Amino acid sequence: MRKVMLVIFAAVLVAALATIAAASQLPEMNLSHNTARPVHAAKFKPPAAPFFCPKKTCLFYSGDDDTTNSNNNGLFDFENAGIGITDAQVFNNYTTGSNKKGYTVQGTSGNYFTNTTSIGTNPTPVQFRTGVSAGNAGTQVCTSTTGGTAVNKAYGNNNFGLTSVNYWVKKLNKPCIVKPKKNYWYWLGPQYNDSSTIGYLEDDDGAKANHGGFPGFKEVQNNSFFNSSSFGVTFENTSGSSGACGGIGCAGFSESINGKKN
């Protein structure tokens, strides 16, 4: 009887260890070494006014990922506890325009390479910060602005064996007032809890700065940061040879901000 119990215990232990091992196998942090990188005959041609950045309210759009560029990349920016990613945050850096009364940010979006077409769990969190630097979270601003209901729609060129999709929080739960001529970092985080969903915020490969946005807004190149305890990274710069993107691309990311002048 004791021998039988030992055999059963051993079987249970092996199964438990296998489960732990499987859970510890996180998806790749970035797509720099992904071999499923097709070469497209032409760059994606965006419309004059992308649906997620309407002409009258588009404060800022950093531009599209270029899948014809050998350095195009993506950085994990979905949170999915089901695959062991409890936090993954890409904070993209931009500066505001010169309007003396500042601006009201009402929504934000990002373009992602993902293996899903479902929207995940809403509300989708959004966060704004100032003073971010390597290893330093800076200061969160607009703390009552926590996110909003996101929608998603196909946009851009598929790549890395994944679908290119835009996630857009059209209306934040509370608008964020930003000052003129100031540096801000922001994060949009699609949420999932299943066994398979992954998503990577697309880099923009140095695309045209502020495509279709308000004058003065611009993306600050080589000054975005990745923060994720799941991947063991604390506000690490996304660019450079030792950056969170593996030294390939990620000088900036394909995101937009909607709002108005104050």
Chain segment 159-201, per-residue pLDDT in tens:
999 999 999 999 999 999 999 999 999 999 999 999 999 999 9
Cβ(131)–Cβ(116) below 8 Å: no
Extents of the domains making up the chain: 2-261
Kindly state the tokens that stand for 73.
């990349």
Residue 210 has pLDDT above 80, yes or no: no
b/e map of 87-102 (b: 16 or more CB within 10 Å)?
ebbbbbbbbbbebeeb
Q: What is the pLDDT of residues 73-129, one digit of tens each?
A: 999 999 999 999 999 999 999 999 999 999 999 999 999 999 999 999 999 999 999
Q: What is the pLDDT of residues 129-143, one digit of tens each?
A: 999 999 999 999 999
Is residue 222 packed enough to be buried (19+ CB in 10 Å), middle (13-18) or exposed (0-12)?
Answer: middle
For residue 7, what is the enclosing H or E element?
A: helix 2-24
pTM: 0.89
| Torsional class of 181: left (φ above 0), alpha (ψ -120 to 50), beta (otherwise) | left
The reported pLDDT for the residue numbered 11 is: 44
Percent of the chain past pLDDT 70, that is, above it, reads: 87
Q: What is the pLDDT of residues 50-65, one digit of tens each?
A: 899 888 999 999 999 9
The reported pLDDT for the residue numbered 208 is: 65
**What's phi and psi for 7, nearest 5 deg?**
-65, -45
The reported pLDDT for the residue numbered 20 is: 39
Place of tokens 């996304």: 238
